[in-house]
Each structure stands twice: as C-alpha cells, then as structure tokens.
Amino acid sequence: MQMSSDQIIECSHHGSQRKAFACQHIAASLSTGLAVGFHWPADSKEPHPEAWCTSCDEARIAAGGDWTSEVEEKLGVTLLCGSCYEAAKQIWAHASAKGQGPTK
C-alpha cells in the first residue's frame, strides 16, 4: 500500500481507501482466513478504530491493562485500507457467529 495523503491510502486490491490500523495477526488473517479475534476501543467514534486480536488483548491484560513496549512489539501495528479492515472483521464475525475461533 502507498500513502497518498493523511487519511487516504492506495490499496492494491481496493484502490483509494481510508486508512486503518490493526495488529499484525488481524492483518495476517486476510491471507489465512483464520479468525483471531477482533477488539477495538469501545468509545471510539472512528469508522475504523485501531483493532487488535484476542492474543494481543490477553498480552495487554497480562501487562496490567497497559500497552507496554513489549505488548506493542507483539502487536506489530499494520496499516490496512478500510476495505481490508472490514474484510478482516468479517472473518472474525463469520467465525464468531458459527461458534468458531475467538469470540471477541
């Protein structure tokens, strides 16, 4: 993906899209199709709030609920386009509805 402005990126699959950020595990789920969980700040008003998987959430909780440098390293924040973000979220939602994979 190539940045073209502060809020818009050019995705090789979806063209010009709003940028979004997710952990590396959510980004990888786009290739694997495996649900890894999908968490985001409950109070966010963003169309695509920063998201992280269940494993990253468990690491954050184990660190006392904080995003420590060790947890952030595990997170591996990855830039996605809004459509890729929604596709990754749907992988989780579909598996969650079937009772498969992490439910959050």
User: pTM for the complete prediction?
Assistant: 0.85
Q: How many CA atoms lie within 13 A of 64 on its CB side?
A: 4
Q: Which residues of 28-42 are buried (b: 16+ CB within 10 A; e: fewer)?
A: bbbeeeebbbbbeee
Summarize pLDDT for 45-82 with one digit per residue, the tens: 988 999 999 999 999 999 999 999 999 999 999 999 99
Q: How confident is the model at residue 98 (pLDDT cuts 50, 70, 90)?
A: confident
**Which pLDDT value is given to residue 24?**
97
Average pLDDT value over all residues in the chain: 89
d(CA 53, CA 10): 24
- The pLDDT of residue 4 is above 60: no
